């Protein structure tokens, strides 16, 4: 029988899905379950190995999470990470202590090169630690295979029982050889086969939705972005026209966006209705210059429009959303303070009467969503669109919004997009846009004095929008942008380039 599945058991850590992703990056299928799931509920055919994740609790606490004890009798290798490491030691008779000092962040690790887990890894490297408790006495039959200055047992193994564990986090990018360590376990020790492909994921999720929601009606708010488009396409492949999509034009979209997005949706065979509410949104925003108030006006009215349209359609029991894994972490597990009240167009109206949410992309990261999109035939341009904020151009016009300011942002943004594409940079830059500023500047245009506005160009590189750098745009591109924007767009007097990184700046100006 093929060995092609890694079971990841979650003990409540932050990196559970990241571990799954790291395994999938190797081309091996991984599945996440809560640690206390009864093994009889999980399909164990083709199981190659098990990974126990980290978690915030102490194994010495009687209430701490525990796994079905049969995981050690399945005859497959087990790798414990952080809490999982301590758990393996504890349930095999070892002890765990809570020292005075915790160990957080980048740490030097020294490994025993004899261990298969550390094959082809230098004796000394940097890993990421994040723990209070540590192993005190090793369980019988185990030996320590790595250490740090503060932790004697930073890794251990019992090769006879095929049990391996590490105190540090190999799954995070800060662990220099983390991925190699995981590969040594998954491919080397478990001998898992690389049979996982996005194609299979697409097929499985479509089949699952088809089976689970046979005959049900659903609605989906489309934003024109990658996530909602891919989510809707997946669901529509499962339930066809029982999915009704709604695309609200709030009048704050980029040039020609509503038209081109609708054409793409139609091409995808989506059952989609566009509602043009631009006048309503612009009327509500008239005279308002506070960024947070603008966001709230748009967010609230979006929900009203969405509700109204959903009522007209009627009979939909489920709401489809393009939630992806980083959204899940941000809203559920991460307690970071709210920097801006992000409004995701298509967000769930709180008091709407749905039986539930359908979130087919919940377990995927952005690049996985893109790969899935390509796999199910979402056009390349749609899949590779840059992220666009729900409140749209409203947060790219500083202060109050008028049609004329929107025209300037739209036209300059269109030039920017065209030129970035001409320079072959459109898939290399995370986001790029222009911002209308209220600063007036003197210039000379055709021998006459001009007094027009300053427009800022923002272009950033990033992998997740959490941290960004200003993109290093070629000077020729900058020159071209400046010439074209000032010559072609009335009301533009000067172009400046925003070189701020995030943090301390944010991507958007408002």
Which residues belong to the annotated binding site for ATP? 223-229
Smallest separation, CB 334 to ligand XMP (Å): 14
Which among 94, 202, 108 has a CA at the least distance from the CA of 140?
A: 94
Phi, psi of 487 (to 5 degrees): -75, -35
Q: Give contact residues for ligand XMP (rule: CB under 6 A).
A: 295, 339-340, 342-344, 387, 389-391, 431, 465, 502, 506-508
Q: How far apart are the C-alpha atoms of 477 and 43, rounded to whole Å?
A: 55
Residue-level length of the chain: 510
Q: Which of these is catalytic: 4, 103, 171, 419?
A: 171
- Contact (CB, 8 A) for 166 and 181: yes
Please report which helix (H) or strand (E) contains residue 240, including its range. none
Which among 324, 488, 315, 506 has a CA at the least distance from the CA of 418?
A: 488
Smallest separation, CB 480 to ligand XMP (Å): 24
In degrees, to the nearest 5, what angle opens at C-alpha 152 toward C-alphas 150 and 158? 145
Q: 324 is written with which tokens?
A: 């992806």
- Residue 457: is it exposed, middle or buried by C-beta count within 10 angstroms (0-12/13-18/19+)? buried
Question: 226-239 and 257-267 helices cross at what angle (nearest 10)?
Answer: 30
Smallest separation, CB 177 to ligand XMP (Å): 31
154 vs 395 by CB, closer to ligand XMP: 395
Q: Which of these is catalytic: 169, 250, 301, 343?
A: 169
227 vs 452 by CB, closer to ligand XMP: 227
Q: Which of these is catalytic: 4, 33, 35, 82?
A: 82
- Contact (CB, 8 A) for 233 and 373: yes
Residues 6+ apart with CB under 8 A from 218: 235, 239, 242, 243, 244, 316, 317, 318, 319, 320, 358
277 vs 458 by CB, closer to ligand XMP: 458
Q: 30 is written with which tokens?
A: 């991984």
55 vs 251 by CB, closer to ligand XMP: 251
81 vs 319 by CB, closer to ligand XMP: 319
Q: How far apart are the C-alpha atoms of 107 and 103, rounded to whole Å?
A: 8
Q: Which residues are annotated as a binding site?
A: 223-229
Smallest separation, CB 467 to ligand XMP (Å): 9
208 vs 367 by CB, closer to ligand XMP: 367
Mark whether 169 is an active-site residue: yes
Smallest separation, CB 160 to ligand XMP (Å): 50
Smallest separation, CB 345 to ligand XMP (Å): 6
Mark whether 171 is an active-site residue: yes
**Which of the residues are catalytic?**
82, 169, 171
């Amino acid at each position: 029988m093929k060995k092609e599945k890694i079971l990841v058991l979650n003990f409540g850590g932050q990196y559970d899905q990241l571990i799954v992703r790291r395994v999938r990056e190797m081309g091996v299928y991984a599945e996440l379950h809560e640690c206390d799931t009864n093994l009889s509920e999980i399909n164990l055919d083709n199981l190659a190995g098990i990974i126990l994740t980290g978690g915030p609790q102490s194994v010495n606490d009687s209430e701490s999470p525990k796994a079905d004890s049969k995981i050690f009798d399945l005859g497959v290798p087990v790798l414990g990470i952080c809490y999982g490491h301590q758990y393996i030691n504890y349930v095999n008779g070892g002890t765990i202590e809570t020292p005075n000092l915790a160990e957080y962040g980048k740490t030097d690790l020294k490994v025993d090169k004899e261990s298969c887990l550390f094959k082809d890894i230098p004796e000394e490297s940097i890993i990421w630690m994040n723990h209070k408790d540590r192993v005190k006495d090793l369980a019988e039959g185990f030996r320590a295979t790595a250490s740090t200055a503060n932790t004697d047992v930073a890794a251990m193994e019992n090769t006879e029982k095929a049990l391996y564990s590490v105190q540090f986090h190999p799954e995070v990018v800060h662990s220099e050889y983390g991925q190699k360590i995981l590969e040594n376990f998954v491919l080397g020790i478990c001998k898992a086969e690389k049979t996982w492909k996005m194609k299979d994921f697409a097929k499985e999720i479509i089949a699952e939705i088809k089976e689970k929601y046979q005959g049900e009606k659903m609605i989906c708010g489309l934003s024109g972005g990658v996530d909602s488009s891919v989510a809707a396409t997946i669901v529509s492949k499962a339930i066809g026209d029982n999915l009704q999509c709604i695309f609200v034009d709030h009048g704050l979209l980029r040039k020609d966006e509503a038209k081109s997005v609708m054409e793409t949706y139609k091409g995808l065979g989506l059952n989609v209705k566009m509602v043009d509410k631009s006048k309503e949104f612009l009327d509500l925003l008239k005279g308002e210059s506070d960024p947070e108030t603008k966001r709230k006006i748009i967010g609230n009215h979006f929900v009203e429009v969405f509700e109204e349209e959903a009522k007209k359609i009627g009979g939909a029991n489920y709401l489809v959303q393009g939630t992806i894994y980083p959204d899940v972490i941000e809203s559920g597990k991460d307690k970071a303070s709210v920097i801006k009240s992000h409004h995701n167009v298509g967000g769930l109206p709180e008091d709407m009467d749905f039986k539930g949410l359908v979130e087919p992309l919940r377990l995927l990261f952005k690049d996985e969503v893109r790969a899935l999109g390509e796999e199910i035939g979402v056009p390349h341009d749609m899949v590779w669109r840059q992220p666009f904020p729900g409140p749209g151009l409203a947060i790219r016009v500083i202060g109050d919004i008028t049609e004329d300011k929107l025209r300037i942002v739209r036209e300059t943004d269109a030039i920017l997009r065209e030129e970035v594409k001409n320079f072959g940079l459109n898939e290399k830059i995370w986001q790029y846009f222009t911002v209308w500023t209220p600063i007036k500047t003197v210039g000379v245009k055709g021998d006459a004095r001009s007094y027009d506005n300053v427009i800022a160009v923002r272009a950033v590189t990033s992998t997740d929008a959490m941290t960004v750098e200003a993109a290093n745009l070629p000077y020729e591109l900058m020159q071209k942008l400046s010439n074209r924007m000032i010559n072609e767009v009335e009301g533009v007097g000067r172009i400046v380039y925003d070189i701020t990184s995030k943090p301390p700046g944010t991507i958007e100006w408002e």
